[in-house]
Each structure stands twice: as structure tokens, then as C-alpha cells.
Amino acid sequence: MLNATSVNNRKQKQRMTPDHLFKFHCHPGLPCFTHCCQDVTIVLTPYDIIRLKNNLDISSDKFLDKYTIILPKEKRLIPLVLLQMNEEDKKCPFISSDGCKVYSDRPWACRMFPLDLADDGTFRLIIDSSLCKGLNEKTEWSIAEWLAEQGVVPYDDMNTLFSQVTQPLQAEEMKIENADIQKMIFMVLYNIDKFREFVFKSTFLDRFELSDVQIEKIKRSDPELLKFGFDWIKFGLFGQLLFKVKEKSPE
């Protein structure tokens, strides 16, 4: 006979498709409200950082310096960028007794909770009802409804583009010892404000053919500039012909 613990463990391990139904509702009346925002590891994507630094109205430099931990990975060109928890209580720096202070721009991992995405495209619960009382609530969702409600779709779209850079790098384990190239790639991915300065204050636009529409888009929109940056990395590292060099470009 299964006990409650074994049932919860089985539910956690269950692989679920987008039409699968689950019950969940998080609100301040729960005794565990915001407990999931403490002493956790949250990996930030480039798009996460854009949304968060714009929400806080600070530069990429300041956000990276104040709110992140950057961990180099052996044999990997791109480091892990983690959200830094408060030193005194290990809580997320954006959490309060009323909830998340950056809720509209919270990271992908926070939007997904209590779900996680498996490599095969299925989903699973990452916590059980003994720790998360929201799973005992009556509100029922299909996974597809939950993802749409939480605004996951644009994050997934950007993360798919990001994976077009990271997956080839992981597969090839490219060894680039030139520190300037490493710094350039990190800037393109995680320091969008510095990348904009590079594009518009260097000779970049004198070297490559870009339409007026494209120039205006990347000047005004961080997400469009990030997409542009993904293509720039694929051009520079993988040799994909995504940019056209001007015939009379500077040396």
C-alpha cells in the first residue's frame, strides 16, 4: 500500500505533457508563501537579465555586479550566471513579505514553478505538497494553460535562440584561449548595454551592411539587440553567413 510520501514522490517523477492537468495556486495566505524563494539556485538567461535590469531601471553592468554570481565552467566558453541570494537569510533579493517585487519580469525558472522542463520536452513537478501547500489548492490548470498564464512563451522563444549558440559550443567543446573573445561573447549575451555601445560607438556599422530598419530596431529594443547578438556570435564563431561585409570597410 502506498503512503502519502511515496505518492508525492511518484507525482514528482511523473512525466507530463502540455495537456496534463494539475492543481496549484500560490497566494499570501499559504504558510509556505515565498519559502520557495529562499536558498535556491536560479540560473539567469540573457533574456532574464534584460527583463530584470529594465524592471529595476539600472544598467546591465550594475545588475551583473550587484545581483549575480558568475561561475566559469570547465571546458565551456560561456559561464553560468546565477542570481545572488541575500547573504544574511539566503532569500532572493527581490522578495518581500508581500511577494515578488519584480513579478512582471521574474526569471524563467520562477515562472515555471512548480514545474520543470525535461530534455524530452515533457514536464514534471519539482516539489511535493508537503513543502508546497499551493499544490493542495483547488485551482486546476492544464500545463499549456499554466505556461500561457505565466508568460513563459516569450522566454521560451528567446531561450530557443540562445540554445542555437550554446548547444554547438557544448557539442564541440570549443577551446578559445583568447581572453578578448571570451569577454566579447559574455558582453554580447549578458551585458546588452555594453554591446549596444560596441555596435554604435565603434566602427561596427562601417564594416557591415545593415538596413536602416534593422539599425533602428537594435538601437531601441534590447530583445532585438540580443537576437542580433546571437547572430553575431554564430557569424563570428561558427562561420554562418549572417552578415555581409561592406566592400570598403575599414581594416
Residues 30-45 pLDDT 10s: 999 999 999 999 999 9
The more confidently predicted of residues 223 and 177 is 223
| Residue ranges of domains in the chain | 4-153, 176-238
Q: What is the pLDDT of residue 14?
A: 77
Which helix (DSSP H) or strand (DSSP E) does residue 151 occupy? none
Residues 73-86 pLDDT 10s: 776 788 999 999 99
CA distance 104 to 111: 10
DSSP strand pairing (95-96 vs 21-23): unpaired
CA distance 124 to 117: 7
Query: Per-residue pLDDT for 232 more than 60?
Result: yes
CA distance 251 to 72: 33
| Dihedral sign computed on CA atoms, order 182, 188, 194, 198 | positive
Q: What is the pLDDT of residue 251?
A: 56
On whether the CB atoms of residues 158 and 192 are closer than 8 A, the answer is no
CA distance 196 to 198: 5
The model's confidence at residue 1, banded by pLDDT at 50, 70 and 90, is very low
One-letter amino acid at 72 equals P
User: For a pLDDT cut of 70, what percent of the chain falls above it?
Assistant: 90
Query: Per-residue pLDDT for 69 more than 80?
Result: yes
Residues 87-126 pLDDT 10s: 999 999 999 989 999 999 999 999 999 999 888 889 999 9
